[in-house]
Amino acid sequence: MADVTVKQLAETVGRSVDVLLAQMRDAGLSHTSPDAAVSDIEKQQLLSHLKREHGEAAGQPQKITLQRKTVSTLKTAPVTGGKAKTVNVEVRKTKTYVKRSLLEEQEESTREAEEQARLVAEEAVRKAEAERVAAEDAVRRAAEEARIAAAEEEARKAAEEARKQMGGDAKDNRKLSVPKVDVKKLETPEERARREEQAAKDRAAEDVRRRQEDAARKEAEEKASQKTLEQARRIAEELAGRAQTVAPAADTPLARGLVGVAYEDSFAREDREIKRGTTTPTRTAKKGPKKREEQTFRPVQRTLTSALSKKHGFEKPVEKQVYEVSIGESIVVSDLAQKMAKKTREVIRVLMKMGEVVTAEQVIDQATAGLVVEEMGHAPKFVSETALEDSLMDSIVRHGDAKTRAPVVTIMGHVDHGKTSLLDYIRRAKVAAGEAGGITQHIGAYHVETPRGMITFLDTPGHAAFTAMRARGAKATDIVVLVVAADDGVMPQTAEAIDHARASGVPLIVAMNKVDKESVDFDRVLSELSAKQVICEEWGGDTQVVKVSAKTGFGIDELLEAILIQAELLELTAVSEGPAQGVVIESRIDKGRGAVATLLVQKGTLKQGDLVLAGTLYGRARALIDENGKQVKSVGPSMPVEILGLPDAPGAGDEFLVVADDRKAREVADFRIARDRQVRMDLAESMKLENLFANMGKAEVASVNIILKTDVRGSLEALTAALNDLSTDEVRVKIVSSGVGAIAESDVALAESTGSVVLGFNVRADNAARAKCQNDGIDLRYYSIIYELIDDVRDAMSGLLTPERRENIVGMAQVREVFHSSKFGSAAGCMVLEGSLFKNKPIRVLREDVVVFQGELESLRRFKEDVMEVRHGMECGLAVKGYKDIKAGDKVEVYEVQIIKRSL
């Protein structure tokens, strides 16, 4: 800042020159005349004097700055070859409390200063504008003159040329390219020349004018902007100067900290930036020299300090991009960094300051992520995980009234209780007959027209492995029909089905099946059901129990009647207009047709060509196929249908939705993929830990590696769950890879590199894969019954168990007498008390039932003859190899070791 005179200073601070001079004198400054120059240093001196004078008297501080410091240590992992580092992490927090009155005053003065600055700046702009206009005027005039001059020159030249040509070759007239019309009008050469002249003149003038105008405008603009800048700078200086002097006079305590300290200055700038809202308002940690820990009183008018210690107070604010960062319920650290356009490292560092030590791929929760985003100066936006999906749902408008729809009925019950047979009877089809091993392994969806209306049935498998399928069946349904064989009663999956129905909150109808059989006991079944809180109407409960026979058809009509009555009670309705929505019942990969998904439409109408979004997949429904294999054009609510056209088999149980455009579908699909990734990572994270603990201090666990391919998603899930359940502490089942569809060469290649067996459930290997299996000796097996596959895997695991050694004592003899012979050493005369003695089996010598020696026999004789075996109750002579100490009364025990293969 340039020096000012005392007079100027007095003007800026709004004091009389005399008063100011007196104050300066008090401050030890030598100024006596109003025109004496006051330097920056002198100003500072004056300020510190004023501060001393007024500050002490002021008593109460106006502003308190509290600083808190926490120190913690952090150990970094050792870098390869290096040592672990211990880093002291010091977190400092500064909080400034300002008296309300002070704040108001500050605001007031800032407002005034700003207002003044604005006025001056406006004036400057006005002036600049006027100058610009004047400059432009001058330019225009100059251009005009130049244009005329140039044009005249050009015209003259052109005229001369024309004249020359006129007087020369008459044939050359054409060269002038005069339009024919003009010739017809009999234009004289003079006229033509004049016209030419005029045109050339115009062109040249236009050109020159434009160029000159451009240059002039640029110059004017530059001049104007420079002027504005200059002016602004001046105002800034003025303001700064005034503030410096006004502040102590107006409010003396303010002057206390006016002396600018570099450190404070950095704060000052921050403060200002906060006001403009450009950078992060909090700075909790600060590296650098240690600061005083105790409460510090720092009544600093920071803006002023800054103004003083800088050459000029105005600084071009660096506009920082503030992103709105949307955060779901959790987020991966690296993803978060990406959303803020920051390096992952920086985000990790911020987290570390907050006491969270994380890795780039770790998942952090919403709240933590929010703090990080704020800390890094961006705006967190907490979104619900389903926001995107919700908006998609909201975008669907279904006009039309909800109409009564058919009930969706899921048949559940224990295996072999007759579920499929019952459905077959109802549908007059023969599904059960064609099933592998006679058990249902897929969820089946059928719709049946009864005289009283349509019913859609979902058939579920009863085998224990299909829990997930049953749960899904119960979820998509309106009514559960529980099939219980009257001759078998409530069995494990019967009980499970009751639980599923209850969990889904759907009504239950009991179909007591096989009533044609003789060995039925209704009361027993009813009481078993009541033990599960399923109480029939006869017994005062509210559950309908219908006696049926899938074999004879007895009671089937009553069952359908019961279902329809229940459906009426439920008042099931759906809007059939608008885009379809529903659930994926099952999916598979068909060799020729690609992914085939069985969908149950719950709302709206699904049409051929609709864009279907199911889970993370989307595609156009190329074809709709009903349960009888017939192509249909559209299906309405409560109807099952198979669709072709998805890029892959969607997860069974996923919801599907018809979406209007590709972009929306992709957006939601991408979002779901990201979310799944997050969930997987969470899971992997926890698994890692679990495994770590589980394997601690344990020898390596043997594992059966499996590559599993199945026909449909549902079986894949069921098998995966069942196989994983087989794992024990000693042997683990490891599903290296799994999928839906035929076994391909790549699967075999993977099997080879991982030492896996390849299991196909209702799928076969293609030619290339089969050949590769044969060449490479890969174990390839096909199954069509779930428990056979599971049993085989269990056997394979058993093969990996270390076999058990079991000892059987096969004979025992007592030593009666001991002979010493030179040939055999010690020979013992024995009596076989139990079993038989065998020459080739291992022995133990026991003395008073304590083992004293373990080894084998040197010889076994009977009446001087070497024998292999001596039976119970006979006498014999024996010598023990390598043992001479045998005594009368000892027992010799012969045993054998049986290696027993263990099974799970």
| Site membership for ligand GDP, residue 440 (CB under 6 A) | yes
Instruction: With CB under 5 A as the rule, give the number of residues binding Mg ion.
Output: 3
Contact 668, 676 (CB under 8 A): no
Name which of ligand GDP, Mg ion, none residue 517 binds, using a CB cut-off of 5 to 8 Å depending on partner kind. Answer: ligand GDP
Single residue of 252, 330, 420, 602 touching ligand GDP by CB under 6 A? 420
Instruction: Choose one: 156-164, 168-176, 417-425, 826-834; the region binding Mg ion (CB under 5 A).
Output: 417-425
Q: Does 409 bind ligand GDP (CB under 6 A)?
A: no
Closer of 201 and 514 to ligand GDP (Cβ): 514
Q: How many CA atoms are closer than 13 Å to the CA of 777, on its beta-carbon side?
A: 1
Residue 624 · residue 641 · CB < 8 Å: yes
281 binds, among ligand GDP, Mg ion, none (CB under 5 to 8 A by kind): none
Q: Which of 244, 477, 513, 710 binds ligand GDP (CB under 6 A)?
A: 513
Tell me if 651 contacts ligand GDP by CB under 6 A.
no
Q: Taking CB under 6 A as the rule, does residue 415 contact ligand GDP?
A: yes
The residue within the footprint of ligand GDP, chosen from 147, 298, 514, 891 (CB under 6 A), is 514
Q: Which tokens belong to 262?
A: 């570099």
What is the full DSSP assignment across 513-572? E-TTSSS--HHHHHHHHHHTT--BGGGT-SBEEEE--TTT-TTHHHHHHHHHHHHHHHT-
Q: CA–CA separation, 381 vs 323, rounded Å?
A: 10
Selected from 13, 193, 432, 832, the binder of ligand GDP by CB under 6 A is: 432
User: Looking at beta carbons only, is 514 or 603 nearer to ligand GDP?
Assistant: 514
Q: Which residue is nearest to ligand GDP (CB)?
A: 418
**Tokens (6 digits) for 837:** 């003695």
- Which residue, 202 or 516, is less far from ligand GDP as judged by CB? 516
494 binds Mg ion (CB under 5 A): no
Smallest gap from Cβ 489 to ligand GDP, in A, equals 14
Q: What is the DSSP string of 7-60?
A: HHHHHHHT--HHHHHHHHHHTT----STTSEE-HHHHHHHHHHHHHHHHHHH-S
Nearer to Mg ion, 212 or 460 (CB): 460
Exposed (0-12), middle (13-18) or buried (19+): which is 515, by Cβ within 10 Å? Answer: buried
CB of 420 to Mg ion, least distance (A): 3
Helix (H) or strand (E) holding 900: strand 891-900
Residue 517 touching ligand GDP (CB under 6 A): yes
**Among the listed residues 245, 440, 477, 715, the single contact to Mg ion using CB under 5 A:** 440
Using the minimum distance from each CB to Mg ion, give the nearer residue, 435 or 766: 435
Binding residues among 545-584 for ligand GDP as defined by CB under 6 A: 549-551
The entry of ligand GDP, Mg ion, none near residue 209 (CB within 5 to 8 angstroms by kind) is none
| Two structure tokens written together for 58 | 């002021």
Judge whether 869 and 837 are in contact, CB under 8 Å.
yes
The least CB distance from residue 427 to ligand GDP, in Å, is 12
Count Cβ neighbours within 10 Å for each residue of 608-629 and write b for 16 or more, e otherwise: bebbbbbbbbbbebebbbebee
User: Which residue from 276, 301, 274 is spatially nearest to 106, judged by alpha carbons?
Assistant: 301
Of Mg ion, ligand GDP, none, which one sits near residue 550, judging by CB under 5 to 8 A according to partner kind? ligand GDP
Long-range contacts of 750-753 (CB under 8 A, 24+ apart): 750/707, 751/705, 751/707, 751/778, 752/776, 752/778
Q: How far is the CB of 408 from ligand GDP (least distance, A)?
A: 19
The smaller minimum CB distance to ligand GDP, of residues 143 and 560, is found at: 560
Q: Is 520 in the site for ligand GDP (CB under 6 A)?
A: no
Query: Which of 503, 637, 662, 506 has its CA nearest to residue 583?
Result: 637
Nearest residue (CB) to Mg ion, 414 versus 588: 414
The number of angstroms, rounded, from the C-alpha of 827 to the middle of its chain's C-alpha atoms is 81
What are residue 40's phi and psi, to 5 degrees?
-55, -45
Q: Which is nearer to ligand GDP, 200 or 563 (CB)?
A: 563
In whole angstroms, give the CA distance from residue 868 to residue 840.
Answer: 7
460 lies in the site for Mg ion, by CB under 5 A: no
Question: 408-413 and 453-459 as β-strands: parallel, antiparallel, unpaired?
Answer: parallel
Q: Which stretch binds Mg ion (CB under 5 A): 117-125, 216-224, 439-447, 723-731?
A: 439-447
By beta-carbon proximity to ligand GDP, the closer residue of 55 and 473 is 473
What angle do helix axes 189-250 and 100-167 make, rounded to 10 degrees? 170
Which residue stretches of 596-744 are H helix?
662-694, 713-726
According to the binding rule CB under 5 A, does residue 421 interact with Mg ion? no
Our CB check for Mg ion shows the closer of 405 and 419 to be 419
Give the shortest CB-741-to-ligand GDP separation in angstroms: 26
Residue among 354, 439, 702, 846 that touches ligand GDP (CB under 6 A): 439
Backbone angles phi, psi at 519, to 5 degrees: -80, 30
Residue 410 interacting with ligand GDP (CB under 6 A): no
Task: Tell me the residue type at 94.
Answer: T
Among 3, 516, 577, 745, binds ligand GDP (CB under 6 A): 516
- Residue 514: which of ligand GDP, Mg ion, none does it interact with, CB under 5 to 8 A by kind? ligand GDP
Does residue 494 bind ligand GDP (CB under 6 A)? no
- Please state the closest distance from residue 439 (CB atom) to Mg ion, in A: 6
Q: Classify residue 849 by burial, with Cβ atoms within 10 Å: 0-12, 13-18, 19+.
A: exposed
Contact, 601 vs 641, CB < 8 A?
yes
Is 303 a binder of ligand GDP (CB under 6 A)? no
801 CB contacts (<8 Å, ≥6 apart)?
702, 730, 731, 901, 902, 903, 904
**Window of 387-395, 438-446, 662-670, 858-866 that interacts with ligand GDP by CB under 6 A:** 438-446
DSSP 712-780: BHHHHHHHHHHHHHH--SSEEEEEEEEEES-B-HHHHHHHHHHT-EEEEES--B-HHHHHHHHHHT--E
Q: 245 vs 420, which CB is nearer to Mg ion?
A: 420
Least distance in angstroms from the C-beta of 544 to ligand GDP: 18
Q: Which stretch binds ligand GDP (CB under 6 A): 171-179, 358-366, 514-522, 749-757?
A: 514-522
Which one of the spans 319-327, 432-440, 511-519, 719-727 is the region binding Mg ion (CB under 5 A)? 432-440
Give Cα separations from 15 to 1, 19, 721, 816 (angstroms): 21, 7, 88, 134
CA distance 243 to 785: 90
Is 473 a binding residue for ligand GDP by CB under 6 A? The answer is no
Tell me, rounded to whole angstroms, the distance of Cα 7 from its chain centroid. Answer: 68
| 420 near Mg ion, rule: CB under 5 A | yes
- Residues forming contacts to ligand GDP in the complex (CB under 6 A) are 413, 415-421, 432, 438-440, 462, 513-514, 516-517, 549-551
Residues within the interface to Mg ion (CB under 5 A): 419-420, 440
